[in-house]
Structure 1
Amino acid sequence: MAFLSAVVSLAAAFAASAAPIPLFNTYRAEDGFSNADISLAVVVYDLPTLVALLSMGRLSNHLGRRRTSIASLALLALGCLLLLNVHDVGTLLAGRVLMGLGAGLASSNVTAYIVDAAPAKPAWLASVASSQTPMVGLAIGAIASGALVQFGPWQRHLIYVVAIGLLLLAAALIAISPETVTPTPGAWRSLRPSVGVPARVRRLLPVAAAVFLSTWATGAFYQAFVPALVEEQLHTRSPLVLGLVFAAYMAPSALGAPLSGRFTPAAAQRIGMIAFLAGMIGIITAIATGALALFIAATIVAGASQGIAISAATRGLLHGSTLAERAPIFSVIYLICYSAAAFPSLIAGQLSHTFSLPQIALGYGGLALVATVFTVIAARNPAQLAIRTI
């Protein structure tokens, strides 16, 4: 019960986070938001997430997984309430700040709850569920939002009402699930910023960081720039198409992730990143030529291959982890991930005043190339880790 509740809650958290994405073009058309405004909305979601990861990553060790999980869902619901009335950039940013805080709290604590409660077999399930549930949630949120915006009533409001209902359902499931840790004193002290992974896997962190950096930066590119790109380069304004394009990057990640369990973490990271680079080359080519079919196909390849690489990197860092170590490890993982999403988006948003979208996409391709080369050269396995099979 706890495993299912935690998975549903993490998926709901990220589905709510993706709800505004198909509306970005609506805000651009009806409220005059610019590409830089939309990019800033991505950044102000990511930065509070980083704050939450730095200061609250160990909170569930002291308050319990259930209480912190419910708190994260409540913050996301408050963010959705604010976004019900977006007509200016300030309201959009305020809602995204609350959602970022909720997502940050969920990223470390709900993911730790998933690993705590996961069945022992298959062995890859804990790392796949914890690393890929956010991708599935983002895909579900983007598709549902795109469909409701295009075909449903109350175009600017219905998706947020649905998201709030889903978050309340997830909170109810958590409330009736068993706790997996014994709360201990020291909750206030745990709020002091602290990050780190166990020494036994510290040597794996640079390659894992390269994987997270390139894949999550590309995900942020899809949030910040694909709304305009789909309209200007691929010649469609459909919110559903926009949601499907975003989901085409996120959803295949969950399909590729179980494949990583057939290889050691190092081999899976190499395979995943090489395929990811191939997908990025296809994406850049499609943007330059305006080929929608190639863009979707290359997006699916990049999405599936990022699942292989991210799951393998997560599996390596979780190797031999204890209950108390899991939330801090996920804090480090998502601290890197959200930094990778925020700072390239901030830079790209400023560059969007000078450079075209195809040129910005080329920059993200360069980042993928550097990360792939580094991963191929430097990927290593945890000590004495045997190959796991499905």
Structure 2
Amino acid sequence: MVAVFAAVGSTIPLFNIYRAEDGFTNSGISLTVVAYSAATLSSLLVLGRLSNHVGRRPTAIASLGLLVLGCLLLLDVHDIGILIAGRLLMGLGAGLASSSLTAYIVDAAPARPTWLASVASSQTVMLGLAVGAIGSGALVQFGPWPRDLVYLVVVGLLLLSAALVAISSETVTPVPGGWQALRPDVRVPVRVRQLLPVAAAVLLGTWATGAFYQAFVPALVQDQLHTSSSFVLGLVFATYMGASALGAPLGGRFSPAVAQRIGMIAFLTGWIGIVTAIASGTLPLFIAATLVAGAAQGIAISAATRGLLLGSSLADRAPIFAVVYLLSYSGATFPSLISGQLSHTFSLPQIAAGYGVLALITTLVTAIAARNPTTDMPRPGRLGT
């Protein structure tokens, strides 16, 4: 999972190079984020239950293979269409990994501590994005072949990961019905339904912010915070994502409802600092506020995931994670699509303020409506088709 999302994060420090050398616009960069998220959504809808039928290992290896193809395509980016196509392949691979590899992690996790499975499954995404961004920033800034080396390194990590998965133990027994599983059909246990509105608010607010950091922070760092360093850009993005992985275990000390409230209130505090830093052009404040928002989202996301997983059976896990990431990437896709169009009219600080308002709304929903999961035995239910 870390390798998958390191591949996804590796592209971000290169966005300013593509803007400067190839004439890509903020709107075009935002469109690549939309393409990635839309491909991930499609993969989740169609392939979210596939690992229950063909096994965790084959689907995990297929997801890594799609990421390899995406990286190879990005070795020659001089047109926005190539960048979009590469990100589409990455999105397909990330979507397949989001359901199969996360379920694989939970299958293999020990029973104690109880929060370990939810933290490991939800925060490897953030950790991978952080590793990819800061590693890419360092290679772009200080290494040879700034447009290519990072993709070659990531391909090596993905191939190594595929080899390790191939020699690992399978955790599910393949069952017939794989073709039927490709029909979009999102299922969750009945007991989870009452938790979905608040989980959706948490995932919308936090993942929209992650998409904001991908699409607009490269330009903000250069234009508003006055640095063109690819390493600093990677460091800023890694601060947000890496802090999420560090903050996530803190939520395990509280019930899911309390942890979600604490996380989202701290997340809003971070956003207030982010908007203030952009308005004043203060890079240290921006990094500090990014750190707060990142750690806070880790608390909130892992708590929401923990609540949804409580009492889940082996067969429930892949569908639950498909729903989690379906909500997550919806939160990344639609605000990015809207803000990308608005970027033709509004300035980057105004776009950032809009995301701050979204953080306020999702925090209010969480503070008012968060609740703890029940311990009833789960029964299969249908969320929608």
TM-score category of the 2 structures, normalised to the smaller one:
over 0.9
- Indicate whether 1:234 and 2:216 are aligned: no
Structure 1 residue matching 2:187: 3-state secondary structure? coil
Shift, 1:140, TM fit: 0.1
Structure 1 unaligned runs (5+)?
A: 1-9, 386-390
- Indicate whether 1:340 and 2:335 are aligned: no
Equivalent residue for 1:82? 73
CA distance in 2, matches of 1:127, 1:155: 36
Equivalent residue for 1:173? 164
Equivalent residue for 2:379? none
Q: Which amino acid aligns with 1:81?
A: L
1:123-182, CA deviations, whole angstroms, 9 ceiling, x for partnerless residues? 110000000000000000000000000100011000000000000000011000000000
Equivalent residue for 1:26? 17
Shift, 1:196, TM fit: 2.6
Q: Which amino acid aligns with 1:19?
A: S
TM-score scaled to structure 2, two decimals? 0.97
Q: Is the 8 A contact 1:108 1:327 kept in 2?
A: yes
Structure 2 unaligned runs (5+)?
A: 377-385
Equivalent residue for 1:158? 149
Structure 2 residue matching 1:245: 3-state secondary structure? helix
Equivalent residue for 1:288? 279
CA distance in 1, matches of 2:60, 2:192: 27
CA distance in 1, matches of 2:169, 2:287: 41
Structure 1 residue matching 2:91: 3-state secondary structure? helix
Equivalent residue for 1:6? none
Cα RMSD for the two superposed structures: 0.7
Q: Is the 8 A contact 1:201 1:319 kept in 2?
A: no
CA distance in 1, matches of 2:114, 2:39: 33
What is the 5 A alignment of 1:105-184?
A: 105-184=96-175
Q: Number of residues paired by the alignment?
A: 376
CA distance in 2, matches of 1:263, 1:197: 24
1:42-87, CA deviations, whole angstroms, 9 ceiling, x for partnerless residues? 0100101000000100000001000000000000000000000000
Identity across the alignment (%)? 74
Shift, 1:197, TM fit: 1.5
CA distance in 2, matches of 1:251, 1:340: 20
CA distance in 1, matches of 2:82, 2:249: 39
Q: Which amino acid aligns with 1:151?
A: F
TM-score scaled to structure 1, two decimals? 0.96
Runs of 4+ in structure 1 over 6 Å off? none
CA distance in 2, matches of 1:199, 1:358: 42
Equivalent residue for 1:103? 94
Structure 2 residue matching 1:84: 3-state secondary structure? helix
Q: Is the 8 A contact 2:308 2:320 kept in 1?
A: yes
Q: Which amino acid aligns with 1:50?
A: L
Equivalent residue for 1:382? 373
CA distance in 2, matches of 1:37, 1:373: 32
